[in-house]
Amino acid sequence: MDHQGMTASPPLPTGDPATAPGHRAAEPQDWRAHPFPPEAPLAMPVQDFRAAPPPGPAVEPAPARVILARIIAFGGGAAITVIGAWQMLLVLTGNLQLLQYALLVLFAITFGWVGFSFCSVLSGLCAATPRTPSGRGSARVAIVMPVYHEDPAASLSLLASLADELAAEGMADRAEIFILSDSREPDAFVAETLAVAALRETCPIPVWYRRRTDNEGRKAGNVAEFVRRWGGCYDQMVVLDADSVVSGRVVAEMSARMAADPALALIQTIPVLTGAQTIYARVIQFAGRVYGPAVGKGVAAWSGDNGNFWGHNAMIRVRAFAACCGLPELPGRPPFGGTVMSHDFVEAALLRRAGWKVRLDWDLRASYEGAPPTLLDNAVRERRWAQGNLQHLRVIGARGFTWISRAHFVIGILGFVMSPIWLGMIIVGLILTANTILSTPQYFPQTYQMFPTWPTFDPGRMMWLFAAAMALLLLPKFFAVVRGWKRPLAAAVGGRSSLLLSALFEIVMSALIAPVGMLIQSRQILEILWGRNSGWESQVRKGAMPPWRVVLSRHWAHVAWGAAITAVIWYLSPGQLIWLSPILLGLILSPLVSRWSASSVLGRWARMADLLVTPEERRPPEVMTAALAHARRLRTADGGAERLGWDAEARRRHAALLPPARPAPPAARLPVITASAKLDVAASQAEALAFLDRAERQALFADPGLLTRWAGLPR
Looking at the predicted structure, is the pLDDT value of residue 24 above 70? no
**CB-count burial class (<10 Å; 0-12, 13-18, 19+) for 484:** buried
Report the distance separating Cα 358 and Cα 363, nearest Å.
15
Question: What backbone phi and psi angles, to 5 degrees, belong to 226?
Answer: -60, -45
Taking 60 as the threshold, does the pLDDT of residue 453 lie above it? no
Q: How far is CA 255 from CA 77, 165, 241, 309, 626, in A?
A: 36, 14, 19, 17, 23
Q: What percent of the chain has pLDDT over 70?
A: 92
Answer positive or negative: Cα dihedral of 361, 364, 365, 366: negative
For the cut 80, the answer to whether the pLDDT of residue 7 exceeds it is no
Q: Rounded CA gap, 550 and 25, in Å?
A: 56
Angle at the Cα of 601 (from 599 to 602), degrees rounded to 5? Answer: 70
Residue closest to 465 by CA, chosen among 579, 572, 574, 576? 579
Please count the residues of the chain: 715
For the chain, give every domain's residue range: 17-31+46-52+133-396, 660-711
pLDDT greater at residue 7 or residue 200: 200
What φ, ψ does residue 180 adopt, rounded to 5°?
-105, 100
> What is the distance between the alpha carbons of residues 225 and 212, in angstroms, rounded to a whole number?
9
Q: List pLDDT tens digits, range 385-436.
A: 999 999 999 999 999 999 999 999 999 999 999 999 999 999 998 888 787 7
Instruction: Examine the pLDDT at 637 and tell me if it is beyond 80.
Output: no
Report the pLDDT value the prediction gives residue 375, as an integer from 0 to 100: 94
The Cα-based distances of 92 to 83, 97, 99, 100, 103 in angstroms read 14, 10, 11, 7, 10
Distances (CA, A) of 660 to 135, 215, 251, 536, 712: 40, 19, 33, 28, 22
Q: Which of 317-326, 431-440, 604-613, 671-680 has the highest mean pLDDT?
A: 317-326
Among 550, 383, 476, residue whose Cα is nearest residue 114: 476
More confident residue, 709 or 540: 709
What is the DSSP track for 14-46? -S-GGGSTT--PPPPTTGGGSSSPPP-----PB
Please, are residues 338 and 388 in contact by the beta-carbon 8 Å criterion? no
Q: Which of 50-59, 277-286, 448-457 has the lowest mean pLDDT?
A: 448-457
The residue among 221 and 659 whose pLDDT is bigger is 221
- For residue 327, give the DSSP letter: P
**Distance between CA atoms of 231 and 248, rounded to whole angstroms?**
22
Of 179, 223, 215, 400, the residue nearest 325 (C-alpha): 223
Mean pLDDT value of segment 299-320: 97
Three-state SS at 388:
helix
pLDDT of 351 strictly over 80: yes
Nearest alpha carbon to residue 610 among 510, 508, 491, 478: 491
pLDDT at 539: 73
Q: Return the C-alpha torsion angle 619, 621, 626, 629, nearest 10.
A: -40
* pLDDT score at 457: 58
Global confidence as pTM: 0.90
CB 370 within 8 A of CB 275: yes
Query: Could you tell me which of 212, 419, 219 has the C-alpha nearest to residue 310?
Result: 219
How is domain 17-31+46-52+133-396 classified at the architecture level of CATH? Alpha-Beta Complex (3.90)
CA–CA gap between residue 319 and residue 98 (Å, rounded): 55
Q: How far apart are the first and last CA of the chain?
A: 58
The alpha carbon of residue 150 and the mean position of all alpha carbons in its chain are separated, in whole angstroms, by: 16
Q: Is the pLDDT of residue 441 over 90?
A: no
Q: Is 706's pLDDT higher than 80?
A: yes
Of 115 and 635, the one with more pLDDT: 115
How high does pLDDT run on average in the chain?
89
Rounded to whole angstroms, the Cα distance separating 554 from 167 reads: 48
Backbone angles phi, psi at 33, to 5 degrees: -80, -5
Q: Does residue 9 have a pLDDT over 60?
A: no
